[in-house]
Amino acid sequence: MSSPKVLFGFHAVGVRLRTAPASIIELYVDASRRDARMRQFLQKAQEANVKTIEADGLRLSRLAGSAGHQGVVARVEAIAMSTSLDDLLDTVKGPPLLLVLDGVTDPHNLGACLRVADGAGVHAVIAPKDHAVGVNATVAKVASGAAETVPYFMVTNLARTLGELKERSIWCLGLSDEATQTLYQSDLKGPTALVLGAEGTGLRQLTRKTCDALVSIPMLGAVESLNVSVASGICLYEAVRQRS
């Protein structure tokens, strides 16, 4: 059984309160905060039969490991998602849309990527176990609830996983500043895995070689590259546009 984890912030805790209130072990709130947002939150907690524990800001910061808790911290049981990527792909109806992150180690970037992945209807986000960040409290806070809804798989060998996706006829499209073909010249309507690297370093060499093709986002100004979460949003919503 997974050990309890911590969620903090109105969005992250609010999604858990709405989707799985029984999984909340303890819910702490700032005793001094009684503004409209907190009152609405407390009302939702009461409706979900979740008891709240009043605490001061210092205790909340210690529980969350961050001062950005907004006065709301919860200890929760981990929710099991699909047991494996294969199991999930077997249940997908229509062409899968996947986001693959190669070497994203910043929790704020991962949280933002999960948030945009949720908005774009991505079926799963995939990352290597090494050279990547897992879903921690900061990721969950930045993701604003998406860490609870988007399956996140950390795989032992990313190149091998990309190969397995290709065996399922999923087109693996890597993002590279050096690619001559642009994102907008690509057909994203079929089964697609968009593969993005960390800002600055980009895709690792083996990951680049394993992709079916490489594309770039046109850069018209002085800046050479985009933050990975911004690039993810552009790529995923181009797929959404084409599919709609």
pLDDT score for 2: 54
Which residues, including other chains, have CB under 8 Å from residue 158's CB and lie 6 or more apart? 100, 102, 126, 127, 128, 207
SS3 string, the chain, reads CCCCEEEECHHHHHHHHHHCHHHEEEEEEECCCCCHHHHHHHHHHHHCCCCEEEECHHHHHHHHCCCCCCCEEEEECCCCCCCCHHHHHHHCCCCCEEEEEECCCCHHHHHHHHHHHHHCCCCEEEEECCCCCCCCHHHHHHHCCHHHCCCEEEECCHHHHHHHHHHCCCEEEEECCCCCCEHHHCCCCCCEEEEEEECCCECCHHHHHHCCEEEECCCCCCCCCCCHHHHHHHHHHHHHHHHC
| Domain range summary for the chain, segments of one domain joined by + | 5-76, 85-243
Identical fold, 5-76 and 85-243: no
pLDDT in tens, 73-104: 999 987 766 578 998 899 898 999 999 999 89
Burial of 123 (0-12, 13-18, 19+ CB in 10 A): buried
pLDDT digits (tens, 9 = 90+) for 174-230: 999 889 999 999 999 999 999 999 877 789 999 999 999 999 999 888 877 789 999
Higher pLDDT, 139 or 203: 203
Q: Is the pLDDT of residue 1 over 60?
A: no
The stretch 132-159 carries a mean pLDDT of 83
pLDDT value of position 159: 95
Q: What is the pLDDT of residue 194?
A: 98
pLDDT digits (tens, 9 = 90+) for 115-132: 999 999 999 999 999 878
Distance CA 165, CA 192 (A): 9
Q: Is the dihedral of CA 213, 174, 183, 237 positive or negative?
A: positive
Task: Kindly report the CATH class assigned to 5-76.
Answer: alpha beta
CA 40 – CA 84 distance, rounded (Å): 37
Q: What distance, in Å, lies between the first and last C-alpha atoms of the chain?
A: 41
The 10s digit of each residue's pLDDT in 18-72 is 888 998 999 999 989 989 999 999 999 999 999 999 999 999 999 988 888 999 9
What's the CATH number for 85-243?
Answer: 3.40.1280.10
Between residues 145 and 81, the one the model is more confident about: 145
pTM beyond 0.85, yes or no: no
Sign of CA dihedral 80, 64, 27, 43: negative
Residues 20, 104: Cα–Cα separation, whole Å: 28
Q: What is the pLDDT of residue 73?
A: 94
Please report the pLDDT score of residue 81 as a whole number. Answer: 61
Predicted local confidence at residue 224, as pLDDT: 75
> In this predicted structure, what is the pLDDT of residue 3?
64
**The pLDDT value given to residue 201:** 78
Q: Residue 156 — very low, low, confident or very high, per pLDDT cuts 50/70/90?
A: very high
pLDDT over 80 (residue 152): yes
